[in-house]
Amino acid sequence: VMPDDARPAAAARPQGDRITGTAWQDFTRGKGVGALNAVDASELGYAGMTIEAVKDGEVVETATAAPDGTFSLSAAADGAHLRLPASNFREPYNGLDWLGPSLVTPAIIGSYIWMWAGFAMVLIAAGLAGMPRELLEAARVDGANEWQVFRRVTVPLLAPVLAVVTVTLMINVLKVFDLVFIIAPGSTQDDANVLALELYRKGFSEDQPGVASAIAVFLLLLVIPVMWFNIRRLRREVRR
Position 45 confidence tier, pLDDT thresholds 50, 70, 90: confident
What pLDDT was estimated at residue 210?
A: 92
What pLDDT was estimated at residue 31?
A: 56
Which amino acid, residue 190? D
Q: In terms of pLDDT, which residue wins out, 131 or 32?
A: 131
Asked if 180 and 172 touch (Cβ cutoff 8 Å), the reply is no
pLDDT in tens, 67-111: 888 999 998 888 889 998 877 777 666 666 667 777 888 889 999
What pLDDT was estimated at residue 43?
A: 84
pLDDT in tens, 221-236: 998 988 888 888 888 8
Position 6 confidence tier, pLDDT thresholds 50, 70, 90: confident
CA 174 to mean position of chain CA atoms: 13
In a domain, 8, yes or no: no
Last residue of a domain, one of 89, 107, 134: 89
Q: Do 85 and 129 fall into the same domain?
A: no
Last residue of a domain, one of 48, 63, 89: 89
In a domain, 171, yes or no: yes
Dihedral angle computed from the Cα positions of residues 226, 230, 165 and 183, in that order, rounded to the nearest 10 degrees: 30
In a domain, 3, yes or no: no
How many domains would you assign to the chain? 2
What pLDDT was estimated at residue 90?
A: 72
Q: Do 61 and 31 fall into the same domain?
A: yes
Last residue of a domain, one of 73, 89, 105: 89
What pLDDT was estimated at residue 153?
A: 92
What pLDDT was estimated at residue 147?
A: 92
Q: Is 71 exposed, middle or buried (CB count within 10 Å of its CB: 0-12, 13-18, 19+)? A: buried
Q: Do 105 and 186 fall into the same domain?
A: yes
Mean pLDDT of 182-208: 85
pLDDT in tens, 114-158: 999 999 999 999 999 988 889 989 999 989 899 999 999 999 999
Q: Do 83 and 101 fall into the same domain?
A: no
Q: Do 28 and 75 fall into the same domain?
A: yes
Q: Which domain holds residue 64?
A: 19-89
What pLDDT was estimated at residue 212?
A: 92
Q: Do 121 and 59 fall into the same domain?
A: no
Q: Do 123 and 45 fall into the same domain?
A: no
What pLDDT was estimated at residue 125?
A: 94
What pLDDT was estimated at residue 57?
A: 83
Position 34 confidence tier, pLDDT thresholds 50, 70, 90: low
Asked if 90 and 186 touch (Cβ cutoff 8 Å), the reply is yes
Position 205 confidence tier, pLDDT thresholds 50, 70, 90: confident
Mean pLDDT of 27-47: 74
Q: Do 128 and 80 fall into the same domain?
A: no
**188, pLDDT greater than 80:** no
Question: CA–CA separation, 189 vs 122, rounded Å?
Answer: 32
Position 1 confidence tier, pLDDT thresholds 50, 70, 90: low
Question: CA–CA separation, 66 vs 129, rounded Å?
Answer: 66
Q: Do 105 and 210 fall into the same domain?
A: yes
Q: Do 134 and 180 fall into the same domain?
A: yes
